[in-house]
Amino acid sequence: MSTLLIAMRRDLLLAARRRGEVVIALCFFIVVITLFPLGVGPEPALLQRIAPGVIWVAALLATLLGLPRLFAADHADGTLEQMALSPRQFALLVAGKVGAHWLLCGLPLVLLAPLLGLQFGLDAGTLWTLMLALLIGTPVLSLIGAVGAALTLGLRGGGVLLALLVLPLYVPTLVFGAGAVEAKAAGLSVGPQLCLLGALLVLTAFFAPWAAKGALRIALE
Amino acid sequence: MNKSHTLCWKFASPAAFYPLAGRMTPMFAALALLLGLAGLWIGFFVAPTDAQQGEGYRIIFVHVPASWMSMVVYCAMAFWAAVGWAFNTRLSAMMASALAPTGALFAFLSLLTGSLWGKPMWGAWWVWDARLTSELILLFLYIGFIALQASIDDPRRADRAGAVLAIVGVINVPIIYFSVKWWSTLHQGASVSLTRSPSMARAMLLGMLLMALAFWMYAIAVSLARVRNLILEREAHTDWIKNALD
């Protein structure tokens, strides 16, 4: 456990010294969502209808934006190799880095989402569901993304390739996440969707750090 | 070690497999041609006209086998990639790379014939049906695998990175399928599900099975031919290649 916290603390400390990057991903999230009313028109009924999907897709893209940086700097200065060689469990160190990525990229989205939902005319109950679904779903995005980031580490055109690899794997999270919010807006029970999101979180939390570790070892050879 | 074991390990060597694949390719290609001709003959001339869809349904003889094969090939690809990663056998990883373009082709063919079929039957080129959507995502998974391997110069790293992706993908394929299926039942009020007759005429089933077998044989023949090219490319520095080509 301490291994995980060490890696997490280090990445958070590094981010605290360069605060700009966190703000950029957040601004991207807001800008993408703002573009939709400009594209489809300002009718409240339509905006209310598309809000869950738009906010979730923007969350996917904002998470994707931060992924290439997850391992790139540590790879460039050799820290990653030291981590792989250290006696501590590499998978736990990777999990710690992913945790830090979520705290910096995912959690701000969760906290900001109600404000943006309000702009789209969602009511209070739906906003809570939106927050809850994002709270469970965004760690899944970071975890799956970490595998993609590890696979594309140091490759030509890594960023675009990363999107191609990771976005198809985000489909279930998007379906259940946006589905929960839509169900709430339609007055239905949100239990099944949130449970399935939780199941995805448990599954990826268990497997993704190992897969990312394997991919990183391949990249470091 | 028993005999079949030694045989298995013997052909795990590219040098031993290369001539074997060379002998097997024409056999599977001939089988594909024969089965394909028989399947098409039954499909076009023997199978009765469908009561609801008229003659247009006959595209089923390409569409359904192509969809099956797109999934089978993905599983085969993930299997060989996993074997290659676990046992560090070069040939298994080459087999996985050789299967990917064929699988992508089948996924594309399935989407293409699906949309050609959908236009007269459903009145739309594309509907967001669960099967269509998950087939599209499967095509993206194939393209991702090919693109990842293409962007890595070192073949060993490309093999292993591809293996990780293929294994992650094969775990995700059922999850994606069920999530998309659930999503489409939630969304579509007026569902446009495939109006398939409850009991399929025997000739139709036979034609479809023959076509599926033909596609299997085609996939095997093409992958073997492609794996031979990969062997030539990667083992170009060895003596046995020079002897084999002389």
More confident residue, A130 or B11: A130
pLDDT at A142 over 90: yes
Residue extents of the structural domains in chain A: 2-220
Which residues, 6 or more positions from A117, have their beta carbon under 8 angstroms from its beta carbon? Answer: A51, A55, A126, A127, A130
Give the C-alpha separation, B1 to B10, whole Å.
Answer: 13
Q: What is the pLDDT of residue B5?
A: 66
Which DSSP symbol is given to B57?
G
Residue B187 pLDDT level (bands cut at 50, 70, 90) = low
Q: How many CA atoms lie within 13 A of A180 on its CB side?
A: 28
pLDDT at B189 over 70: no
In contact, B141 and A168? CB cutoff 8 Å: yes
| Whole-complex ipTM | 0.84
pTM of structure = 0.86
pLDDT at A132 over 70: yes
Q: What are phi and psi of B78, to 5 degrees?
A: -65, -40
Please give the residue of chain B at the shortest CA–CA distance from A157: B151
Which residues, 6 or more positions from B242, have their beta carbon under 8 angstroms from its beta carbon? Answer: none
Give the C-alpha separation, A128 to B52, whole Å.
Answer: 48
pLDDT tens, residue by residue, B33-76 = 998 888 888 878 877 776 666 777 788 888 888 888 888 899 99
Closest partner residue to B180 (CB to CB) among A155, A161, A175 is A175
Q: What is the pLDDT of residue B192?
A: 42
pLDDT tens, residue by residue, A153-202 = 888 777 788 888 999 999 889 988 888 888 888 777 888 888 889 999 99
In contact, B156 and A190? CB cutoff 8 Å: no
In contact, B106 and B70? CB cutoff 8 Å: yes
The DSSP bridge partners found for residue B54 are B50
The reply to whether residue A164 touches residue B165, judged by beta carbons under 8 angstroms, is: no
Residue B146 pLDDT level (bands cut at 50, 70, 90) = very high
* Nearest chain B Cα distance for residue A144, angstroms: 9
The b-or-e profile of B171-206 (16+ CB within 10 A means b, else e) is ebbebbbebbbbbbeeeeeeeeeeeeeeeeeeebeb
pLDDT at A139 over 50: yes
The reply to whether residue B172 touches residue A161, judged by beta carbons under 8 angstroms, is: no
B-chain residues near A151 (CB < 8 A): 148, 161, 164-165
B-chain residues near A159 (CB < 8 A): none
Give me Rg for the CA atoms of chain A: 18
CA A52 to chain centre: 16
Which DSSP symbol is given to B8?
H
Give the C-alpha separation, A144 to A73, whole Å.
Answer: 19
* Nearest chain A Cα distance for residue B160, angstroms: 7
Greatest Cα pair distance in chain B: 66
pLDDT at B199 over 70: no
The reply to whether residue B172 touches residue A175, judged by beta carbons under 8 angstroms, is: no
Average pLDDT over residues A42-57: 87
